[in-house]
Amino acid sequence: MNVRVVVITGAGSGLGASLAKKYSDLGCHVCLLGRTKTKLTRTAETLSNNYSIYEIDISSKNDVVKTMQLIKEEVGLIDLLINNAGVGFFDLTENLSEESVHQMIDINLKGTIFCTQEVLNDMKKRNQGCIVNIVSLSGKRGKINESVYSASKFGARGFTENLAIELEDTGIRVFGAYMGNMKTELWEGARIEETYMEPDDVADIIMESIKPRKNVLVEEVVIKDNKYKN
């Protein structure tokens, strides 16, 4: 598949910013989506080719519909959607606020679903495209202080796997990335261990995994540091 238009949610920092830089270097038009324009602008300053910035709340279906339509009109049809945006609040279950519960479910799960819904019709008409869902190892196994975060990620994993079944007889690819801890703003305020992975390394693995190959299909990848125990 010749990727021309790449849409990345949560592109203001971390893995999203790394993926944006690498796809820009390949000559793609990268659409940077996120809640904070200053962060998106900071990412844009690292890009070598055309880009577009879209402030968006992906937990709002209406916001997603309007933004995806705007991208279609201003840039063109989307070849690659990377659902990367995510938020996490880590504490014992009884200590989590109602607002933090809503945010994790709304952004990590609903946001992934809403963005995917808005690209499917055009991808189906062309019978091509790729949807990459950045999930987490918390979508494969439970960890202490991550009950609701894991619930949102298990939901994203279920959505990814079922979507792949829906689209298995089409030219549209669905890919799930499950990684351990990275050195990103998700852990802002918490201690970032030296063993946490670099976003650039994770981005390289994801991009290599989704490259089209004859008679080979990679549906998911698990990425973890060599000291990951759980």
CA distance 102 to 84: 18
CA distance 3 to 23: 9
SS3 at position 61: helix
Sheet hosting strand 29-34, strand order edge to edge: 51-55, 29-34, 5-9, 80-83, 129-134, 172-179, 220-223
Active site residue 228: no
* DSSP bridge pairs for 5: 29
SS3 at position 136: coil
Q: Write down the catalytic residue from 23, 51, 54, 149.
A: 149
The set of catalytic residues is 149
